[in-house]
Amino acid sequence: MPGNGPHIRRLFEPRSVAVIGASHTPGKIGHTILENIIEGGYGGKIYPVNPKGGEILGRPVYARAADVPTEIDLAVTCVPAKYALGAVQDLADRGTKYNLVITSGFSEVGNLEEERQLVGYATERGMRILGPNIFGMFSASASLDATFGPGGIRHGSVAIITQSGALGLAMIGKTAVENVGISAMISVGNKADIDEADLLRYLMEDANTRTILMYIEGVREGEELLEVLRETTGRKPVVAIKSGRSKRGAVAAASHTGSLAGSDAIFEAVMRQAGVLRAESVEEAFNLCKFLSETPPPAGRHAVIVTNGGGIGVLATDACEKYDVPLYDDAQTLKEIFSPVTPDFGSTKNPIDLTGQASAEHYRVALDAALTSEKIHSVLALYCETALFDAESLMKMIRRNYARYKERGKPLLFSIFGGADTETSLDTLTKERVPVFGDVYETVACMGGLYSYGRYLQQRRDATDETEIDTAAIDRIVRGARSEKRSFLLAHEGQALMDAIGIPLPRSRVVRNLDEAVQAAEQIGYPLVLKVVSRDILHKSDVGGVALDLEDREEVIDAYQAIMRNCRTRMPQARIQGIEVAEMVASGVELIAGARRDASFGPIVMFGMGGIYVEVLKDVSFRAAPLDRREVLAMMKEIRAYPLLLGVRGEERRDIESVTDAIIRLATIIRHCPEISDIEVNPLVAYEQGHGAKAVDVRVLLTETAGGSTDA
């Protein structure tokens, strides 16, 4: 729900908390929550509510919410589902601001109506609900642990929003082990009212929060979420943990764009576009968050690896390629910086090899050299246990110097690998919040995340490219289709639409008799294509409704008669609106470009290899609209067949600019014409540089209205 930014503050910083269903029995959820609130050091007023009255944990118990003597900023409801509505009504009636509904048994098990009632009652009276079906929330700004987790949450700078309760509870334990400090932890459960977008609006402003970790399973108000995410990532990093693949889009699909969009690919693409770093595992997400909270993104592209082992140096180099960490390779400068600190038989080429004879002192001097040089922007320090140099000495050196290193403001990550002593050193350093890993890949993945966020910030431009479109003409076309109760456009309407948005088409006309066909052919010029136009014939070639490569008047006459004959014999019931006479398109690279309104993320665009193989190859990429040309280009480069556009085997480069232009136009129309739900150009034929791109076939679906038909 938009527009709740200023109010949501009291969710995180309540002045009073009431626990509805606070239990007298230790171990019950209603008891643990009250215990955590008290033990966690919450400084506001605490009101246990339970009809049995008495005292719990030394606090007087109120029989009903109505009896609580002051305003309630936040209620935590943990009564069984059958009493939940009553509890919500009591709270809403007395003007409670926020209510965390812990209770399960609502939409997650199909009880949609009960959930709607609960939220409906609350919303009408201005009470916001988090949940139901949650484990609660923690907010460091109020020292409030209103969860039934293990307690003892370490305060820090990472905010966690989780849709999975079990995973969230487990994360509380894991944050303690990994020494990750938390600024807020929110279980969103069924998201019946408050959702991620609401929470992000607060967290992006919250000074305690430096990084946000999200575990997302499904997205409802995706368009709004993306908008808020874009705003948030401009201020602080957001890491999302990958979750299951959605099949929803595929089910609803009425086009290639739809069926291909149903996959995880959209989530991946739009999250990246919004600057969200996507982690493959909880471990990776924690690493990223920890590190991103401590260190700013690198100021430039020059990363160096400092190692005492050639093997791990090579492993790290491979990983740098995978995670897009740009290794500095100016041999001369590297030599100047590192030769004073590298043994003669070592290497000053990146990776800087201090050799197996290196000592802790060698590392210290080499790291000092790297961190003080203006030419170097980030450092990966790798260590392999050797007989000459134990991990403990390295650990001591790092402990002595890390604070000083950190002041340099450059990303510095350690990877140490070896036996039991190394593991002990790793634990000690982790406890002291030194970014250290046992595995080279993890280390580089983390640095990759930092570079990726840095690049995003650098490239972030508000400008989105949009084009002029003739909305009056589009309205006319749509009205025409609607008047015939259609939810799709016929071929000639699709072409008119292309005209209105400025995507070039092969020249063509729809004719109703042979004379008109001949006349049109003479005007357009040969070679030509003839195609039947009928809302009843979906696969035109199968019924002999298409004739290609017609060279002259005679061939056009023959083809016209043949098409009419074929269609009448093979599909006698089909209503034929006419015959389309079109310019025969020269061959070029066949692409597909589409735009649609995605159920989760709103307007999206798709690009890929087109023609008849699109479903087989599935070589496509997606972006959310609006987007700029740079983003369109990135989207085009993502497909495997991109080199075909650059020209292979002596072929000319294709007109990439015209293709970009077509995609921008599709993005514009899908954003500005709510009547259009799905538009797909296949093939979009790309010619040689300077010769443009043409929409050879276009398929347009309109937003469903009662009584419309989509059987195009």
- Taking residue 378's Cβ as centre, other Cβ atoms within 10 Å add up to 26
- Residue 266 in contact with ligand COA, rule: CB under 6 A: no
Residue 28: CB minimum distance to ligand COA, A: 4
**Stretches 97-105, 231-239, 248-256, 421-429: which one binds ligand COA (CB under 6 A)?**
97-105
Would you say 54 or 690 has its CB closer to ligand COA? 54
- Residue 49 in contact with ligand COA, rule: CB under 6 A: yes
CA distance linking residue 139 with residue 12, whole number of Å: 6
**Stretches 22-30, 477-485, 509-517, 606-614: which one binds ligand COA (CB under 6 A)?**
22-30
Closest CA to 608 of 271, 217, 263: 263
Would you say 6 or 26 has its CB closer to ligand COA? 26
Could you give the dihedral angle defined by the CA atoms of residues 294, 296, 301 and 307, in that order, rounded to the nearest 10 degrees? -20
- Residue 48 in contact with ligand COA, rule: CB under 6 A: no
- Count of residues binding ligand COA (CB under 6 A)? 28
> Which residue type sits at 38?
I
Position among 7, 10, 15, 24 found at the interface with ligand COA (CB under 6 A): 24
- Residue 25 in contact with ligand COA, rule: CB under 6 A: yes
Position among 99, 133, 342, 658 found at the interface with ligand COA (CB under 6 A): 133
Closest CA to 284 of 406, 442, 409: 442
- Residue 52 in contact with ligand COA, rule: CB under 6 A: yes
- Residue 51 in contact with ligand COA, rule: CB under 6 A: yes
Running DSSP on this structure, what letter comes out for residue 62?
A: B
Q: Which residue's Cβ lies closest to ligand COA? A: 165
- Residue 21 in contact with ligand COA, rule: CB under 6 A: yes
Residue 138: CB minimum distance to ligand COA, A: 14
Residue 499: CB minimum distance to ligand COA, A: 54
Would you say 21 or 181 has its CB closer to ligand COA? 21
Would you say 53 or 343 has its CB closer to ligand COA? 53
Phi, psi of 498 (to 5 degrees): -60, -40
Q: CB–CB of 72/16 below 8 Å?
A: yes
In sequence order, the 6+-apart residues with CB closer than 8 A to the CB of 605 are 593, 594, 595, 622, 623, 624, 625, 627, 635, 663, 666, 667, 670
Position among 18, 72, 74, 87 found at the interface with ligand COA (CB under 6 A): 87
Would you say 102 or 319 has its CB closer to ligand COA? 102
Q: CB–CB of 40/144 below 8 Å?
A: yes
Would you say 63 or 548 has its CB closer to ligand COA? 63
Q: In what order do the strands lie in the sheet with 155-162?
A: 144-147, 136-139, 182-187, 155-162, 211-215, 238-241, 277-279
In sequence order, the 6+-apart residues with CB closer than 8 A to the CB of 456 are 233, 275
- Residue 165 in contact with ligand COA, rule: CB under 6 A: yes
CA 260 to chain centre: 16
Closest CA to 107 of 137, 90, 89, 129: 129
Per-residue three-class SS string for 144-197: EEEECCCCCCCEEEEEEEECCHHHHHHHHHHHHHHCCCEEEEEECCCCCCCCHH
Position among 8, 12, 16, 23 found at the interface with ligand COA (CB under 6 A): 23
Per-residue three-class SS string for 663-675: HHHHHHHHHHCCC
Residue 42: CB minimum distance to ligand COA, A: 20
Write the burial class of residue 340 (CB in 10 Å: 0-12 exposed, 13-18 middle, 19+ buried): exposed
Position among 6, 41, 60, 86 found at the interface with ligand COA (CB under 6 A): 86
> Segment 315-344, which members bind ligand COA (CB under 6 A)?
none
**Stretches 47-55, 174-182, 281-289, 499-507: which one binds ligand COA (CB under 6 A)?**
47-55
Would you say 195 or 284 has its CB closer to ligand COA? 195
**Stretches 18-26, 291-299, 335-343, 406-414: which one binds ligand COA (CB under 6 A)?**
18-26
Residue 65: CB minimum distance to ligand COA, A: 8
Per-residue x/- track, 64-83, ligand COA (CB under 6 A): --------------xxxx-x
Q: CB–CB of 334/350 below 8 Å?
A: yes
The secondary structure of the chain in percent helix, strand, coil, rounded to multiples of 5, reads 40, 20, 35
- Residue 162 in contact with ligand COA, rule: CB under 6 A: no
- Residue 59 in contact with ligand COA, rule: CB under 6 A: no
- Residue 275 in contact with ligand COA, rule: CB under 6 A: no
- Residue 62 in contact with ligand COA, rule: CB under 6 A: no
- Residue 163 in contact with ligand COA, rule: CB under 6 A: no
- Residue 173 in contact with ligand COA, rule: CB under 6 A: no
Q: How far is CA 440 from CA 326, 408, 430, 477, 515, in A?
A: 16, 23, 16, 59, 75
What are 212's two structure tokens?
Answer: 């946000």
- Bridge partners (DSSP) of residue 437 are 415
> Segment 102-131, which members bind ligand COA (CB under 6 A)?
102-105
What are 37's two structure tokens?
Answer: 């609130």
> Segment 578-617, which members bind ligand COA (CB under 6 A)?
none
**Stretches 48-56, 394-402, 443-451, 464-472: which one binds ligand COA (CB under 6 A)?**
48-56
Would you say 156 or 165 has its CB closer to ligand COA? 165
- Residue 27 in contact with ligand COA, rule: CB under 6 A: no
CA distance linking residue 28 with residue 351, whole number of Å: 56
**Stretches 24-32, 261-269, 314-322, 576-584: which one binds ligand COA (CB under 6 A)?**
24-32
Per-residue x/- track, 441-480, ligand COA (CB under 6 A): ----------------------------------------
CA atoms within 13 A on the CB side of 582: 23
Position among 100, 134, 395, 659 found at the interface with ligand COA (CB under 6 A): 134
Would you say 18 or 394 has its CB closer to ligand COA? 18
Closest CA to 664 of 684, 644, 689: 684
> Segment 180-219, which members bind ligand COA (CB under 6 A)?
187
Closest CA to 579 of 618, 621, 529: 529
Residue 219: CB minimum distance to ligand COA, A: 19
- Residue 673 in contact with ligand COA, rule: CB under 6 A: no
Q: How far apart are the first and last CA of the chain?
A: 36
Position among 36, 50, 183, 355 found at the interface with ligand COA (CB under 6 A): 50
Residue 22: CB minimum distance to ligand COA, A: 7
Q: CB–CB of 92/20 below 8 Å?
A: no
Residue 333: CB minimum distance to ligand COA, A: 54
Q: How far is CA 396 from CA 363, 393, 570, 687, in A?
A: 12, 5, 86, 64
Residue 199: CB minimum distance to ligand COA, A: 16
Would you say 53 or 438 has its CB closer to ligand COA? 53
- Residue 20 in contact with ligand COA, rule: CB under 6 A: yes
Q: How far is CA 178 from CA 263, 282, 402, 585, in A?
A: 33, 11, 18, 62
Residue with tokens 């009419």: 564
CA distance linking residue 375 with residue 382, whole number of Å: 20
Residues that bind ligand COA (CB under 6 A): 20-21, 23-25, 28-30, 49-52, 78-81, 83, 86-87, 102-105, 133-135, 165, 187
